[in-house]
Amino acid sequence: MNLNLDFQIREKDFVTLYGPSGSGKTTTLRILSGLTQPDTGFIKVNNEIWLDTEKKINLSVQKRKLGYVFQDYALFPNMSIKENLTFALEKGQKKNIIDELLETMELVQLKHLKPEKLSGGQKQRVAIARALVRQPKLLLLDEPFSSLDIEMRLKLQDFILRAHRLYRLTTILVSHDISEVYKVSNKMFVIENGTITKQGDPPSIFSSSLTSRKFQFVGEIVKIENENIVYIVSVLIGNNIAKIIATDQEIQGLQVGSKVLVASKAFNPILRKIE
């Protein structure tokens, strides 16, 4: 893969890497983590150089102070929840962080169970907690909620945001979910064919200059009803359903499942499909 990326992230930012499959998002996380080494590259976190191919510097995964959450949880099946977290402790590290994370992720009642007894959402909470045990400088999230239903995704997004703020993390998320990008991140990079084509905050990337910012929400169409000369479009925004009146022209290209931006124009709500 050809990756040509040059970007900086501020401490405590919550950044999303967004783009089509195969564009290089996951590979970028793997390079940051040390799981994949590029032919040439340079990574500096705070004042510590993690990678400098010219000087032959390449810190091992273990020496990079980061947490990595995968799509498939990657929990040890023979260990309890608490044992999975304890295994991640560094030598000499105090164990009080384990109880703190069990509390933060609402896992106290489940701490003696093994992963096979947990739901997908519970397993992912354990995976997130385990990634935070070493109190990383950088938290990497590779589409951690993609296999979960929308209700569970929303709950886990809240857990991630809580952890991000509580532990003052710098977080990088790979996501295809536009509503998720809007909810959690303050900055995003759009990656296409291995290069960054757009960067900025989510509203500036997704919205049009034709819409004002009186209000702006991202949602998913769950129903379209024909009411004589207009349409009633039901849009799922978080846990709520918003009903928007749309004309025949506005409805073109929209269908159930379409991701849309619900925004205001001249004080009237409008729909805009997000590609």
pLDDT at 148: 80
Average pLDDT over every residue of 174-187: 86
Residue predicted with more confidence, 265 or 141: 141
Q: Where are the beta strands (DSSP E) in the chain?
A: 14-18, 42-45, 48-52, 57-58, 66-69, 138-142, 170-174, 187-192, 195-200, 212-227, 230-237, 240-246, 259-265, 268-273
pLDDT at 41: 95
DSSP string computed for 134-151: T--SEEEEESTTTTS-HH
| Domains of the chain as residue ranges with CATH | 14-204 (3.40.50.300), 209-273 (2.40.50.100)
Residue predicted with more confidence, 258 or 82: 82
pLDDT tens, residue by residue, 189-233: 999 999 999 999 887 887 644 455 566 788 889 989 887 677 889
122-160 exposure pattern, b = at least 16 Cβ within 10 A, e = fewer: bbbbbbbbbbbbbebbbbbbbbbbeebeeebbbbbbebb
Residue predicted with more confidence, 211 or 48: 48
pLDDT at 210: 47
How high does pLDDT run on average in the chain? 88
